[in-house]
């Protein structure tokens, strides 16, 4: 079940909200936990057992670390529970690609090749594991207390509102609200507005562009127009799909009395690659910084180690993004190199690049990197790059000519306009009057109604980070 589906909007969410409103404040964590298990079990009852095990393991791990007296023993306990989380993640996420790589190396018909039944990746596993690891480390560091209540901890880790695709919520951010939180009309209405905005981002732009992107990346020898329509389309699809989900998650959390931090801050307006990572998937960027980059030494261990740390952390981040292709690792390495070059440029103090130029160069790199991120294989990624540099001709292919419709062009324009609007913020902030208030109030409702109609007519489209 996904947020942008009739099952969620017409069955699960109304039933959950009704139950959540009826039970008293002391039972809301239990209600949230049980309904989150129903939400997860809707997709797969079998994997619900794994999901419940992860919740129990995270809770027990926190208690075990907290109860251990010596620092050495605490460290070993932390290592053991992090190791268990990582073993589960690696099994489900990377076993298939490791076996495929081994079979490719020894040859398909070789006696050394392995017979293999592919492992299914449970939804939301990557986010659950990162949340669990951050909680265990924070308990170890004594920055948060170990939660003595399994219901409270389970509600935090299993919360359906951000379960599938983040944001990656840290226990510290919600520990007070797990004890007491508001459930009133003000928070509910503000959250509902965010939910409708996120739904519009996801359905009207991301889902509309999805068929065009699929065709563009499936063309054998994409032309210049094919490749760039596919690349730009994917950049818009990924942003409005992922950011739309985050906005919906933040809105749902607000409706229930939780305050989640923003997960995106106009990333396509970044003026450097470092600035991009300060704006894109903020909960992941801060997680990588606090639990990976800084513990490795960050930039406090000399220039060479600093660049090694940058490359290593971004390579790990790339692997975390996907386990069915080594392209994700290449994407992470590319960003690690770009961050290193950015750091070298700033330290050299060569001179400030004009803002417009730096924005264009940063966006060009980000979109070119999205190409290898989206391509199913390394060879198909090379073909897309060949198309982007005009090596396969310039006109639209027959496949792209057939798929493109006016609605797709409208989604391209709408997406680009929404990306650029923050540049006009100083002008829009000066606008006032009843007409502006009415538009600001009504457009999320109109967008949501259009989105609902599209979901009803063409079905639900899973989030790009759904099975992740």
On whether the CB atoms of residues 461 and 210 are closer than 8 A, the answer is yes
**CB-based burial label for 150 (10 Å; 0-12, 13-18, 19+):** middle
- Average pLDDT of 72-83? 95
Tens digit of each residue's pLDDT (9 = 90 or more) over 454-467? 998 887 777 777 65
Confidence band, pLDDT 50/70/90 cuts, at residue 385: very high
Please state, in angstroms and rounded to a whole number, the distance separating the CA atoms of residues 197 and 250.
Answer: 11
Averaged over 317-326, what is the pLDDT? 86
> Do 195 and 206 touch, CB atoms closer than 8 A?
no
Q: Are 240 and 205 in contact (CB under 8 A)?
A: yes
**Cα–Cα dist 341/267, whole Å:** 19
Q: Which sign does the torsion angle of CA 135, 139, 145, 148 carry?
A: positive
What does pTM read for this prediction? 0.92
Domain edges within the chain = 6-182, 188-458
pLDDT > 90: what percent of the chain? 70
pLDDT of residue 107: 73
Closest among 125, 143, 144 to 87, alpha carbons compared: 125
pLDDT: which is higher, 345 or 388: 388
Contact between 270 and 450 under an 8 Å Cβ cutoff? The reply is no
Catalytic residue among 321, 335, 376, 408: 321
**Predicted confidence (pLDDT) at residue 322 exceeds the cutoff of 60:** yes
Dmax (CA) of the chain:
76
Contact 50, 85 (CB under 8 A): no
- The pLDDT, as a whole number, for residue 439 is 64
Known catalytic membership, residue 162: no
Model pLDDT for residues 6-52, shown as the tens digit of each residue: 899 999 999 999 999 999 899 999 999 999 999 999 888 889 999 99
Distance between CA atoms of residues 365 and 334, nearest Å: 9
Distance CA 437, CA 426 (A): 17
pLDDT of residue 112: 67
Rg, C-alpha atoms of the chain? 23
Contact between 244 and 198 (Cβ < 8 Å): yes
For residues 238-255, give the mean pLDDT.
94
In angstroms, what CA-CA distances link 44 with 1, 324, 396? 10, 21, 41
Neighbours of 183 (CB within 10 A): 14
């Amino acid at each position: 079940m996904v947020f942008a589906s009739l099952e969620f909007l017409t069955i699960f969410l109304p039933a959950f909200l009704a139950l959540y409103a009826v039970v008293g404040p002391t039972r809301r964590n239990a209600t949230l936990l049980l309904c989150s298990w129903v939400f997860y079990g809707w997709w797969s009852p079998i994997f619900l057992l794994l999901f419940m095990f992860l919740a129990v393991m995270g809770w027990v791990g926190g208690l075990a670390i907290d109860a251990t007296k010596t620092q050495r023993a605490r460290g070993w306990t932390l290592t053991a529970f992090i190791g268990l989380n990582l073993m589960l993640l690696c099994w489900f996420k990377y076993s298939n690609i490791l076996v495929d790589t081994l079979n490719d190396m020894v040859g398909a018909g070789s006696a050394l090749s392995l017979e293999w039944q592919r492992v299914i990746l449970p939804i939301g596993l990557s986010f659950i594991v990162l949340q669990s690891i951050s909680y265990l480390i924070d308990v170890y560091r004594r920055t948060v207390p170990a939660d003595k209540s399994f219901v409270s901890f389970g509600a935090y880790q299993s919360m359906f509102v951000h379960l599938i695709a983040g944001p990656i919520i840290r226990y510290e951010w919600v520990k007070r609200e797990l004890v007491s939180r508001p459930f009133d009309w003000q928070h509910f209405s503000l959250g509902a507005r965010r939910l409708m905005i996120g739904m519009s981002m996801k359905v009207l732009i991301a889902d509309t562009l999805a068929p065009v992107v699929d065709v563009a990346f499936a063309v054998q020898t994409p032309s210049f127009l094919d490749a760039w329509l596919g690349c730009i389309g994917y950049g818009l699809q990924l942003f409005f799909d992922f950011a739309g989900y985050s906005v919906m998650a933040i809105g749902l959390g607000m409706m229930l009395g939780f305050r989640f931090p923003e997960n995106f801050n106009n990333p396509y307006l970044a003026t450097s690659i470092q600035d991009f990572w300060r704006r894109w998937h903020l909960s992941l960027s801060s997680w990588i910084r606090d639990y990976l980059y800084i513990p490795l030494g960050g930039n406090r261990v000399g220039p060479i180690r600093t660049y090694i740390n940058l490359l290593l952390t971004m390579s790990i981040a790339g692997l975390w993004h996907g386990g069915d292709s080594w392209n994700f690792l290449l994407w992470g390495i590319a960003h690690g190199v770009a961050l290193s070059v950015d750091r070298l440029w700033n330290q050299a103090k060569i001179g400030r690049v004009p803002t417009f130029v730096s924005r264009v160069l940063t966006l060009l790199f980000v979109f070119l990197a999205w190409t290898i991120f989206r391509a199913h294989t390394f060879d198909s990624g090379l073909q897309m790059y060949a198309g982007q540099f005009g090596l396969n001709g310039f006109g639209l292919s027959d496949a792209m000519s057939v798929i493109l419709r006016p609605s797709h062009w409208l989604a391209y324009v709408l997406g680009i306009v929404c990306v650029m609007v923050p540049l006009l913020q100083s002008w829009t902030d000066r606008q006032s009057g009843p007409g502006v208030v009415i538009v600001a109030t009504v457009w999320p409702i109109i967008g949501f109604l259009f989105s609902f109609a599209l979901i009803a007519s063409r079905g639900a489209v899973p989030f790009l980070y759904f099975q992740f």
